[in-house]
Amino acid sequence: MSSDADTSLPTPAIVLTPQQWRSKLTPQEYAVLREAGTERAFTGEYTDTETSGVYECRACGAELFRSTEKFHSHCGWPSFFDPADSDAVLLRTDDSLGARRIEVLCANCHSHLGHVFEGEGYPTPTDKRYCINSISLRLQPKDGPTS
């Protein structure tokens, strides 16, 4: 899997200064999306939701995941076995915290979404778990946008 992770990323379609991102995002959103933070487990609004729809990047609105690829991993964060489109996310090696992980970024704005893990034995078509922070996402229900 680490061979799929790219350490040299293309230029994002959306480029804002830190000050512009701060004016667009709440302090909690900024900490996760722009500084690669992590929300506490089992606290995110989408961890256990069953609502059908599309999960977009909270920073830029790009479509990232769909509810049809969401599954209950019981890890404390929303889990998906595949992105909505293979080009929707970028993968980057993350050697922080003394362990090699694969970071998941929005391909459109390079915001931090979470990490992807492989080979954990979940009964999904890809055997991958995209472990994504709820605060990095905005759900657009199948029946129409939320207010």
The burial of 32, by beta-carbon neighbours within 10 Å (0-12 exposed, 13-18 middle, 19 or more buried), is given as buried
Could you say which of 57, 60, 109, 131 is catalytic?
Answer: 131
Query: Is 131 annotated in the active site?
Result: yes
Residue 28 burial (CB count, 10 A): 12
Q: Write b or e for each residue in 124-136: b if 16 or more Cβ atoms lie within 10 A of its Cβ, otherwise e.
A: beeebbbbbbbbb
Among all chains, which residue has been given the structure tokens 């207010």?
147
HSE, CB side, 13 Å, CA atoms: give it for residue 37: 14
The residues carrying an active-site annotation are 131
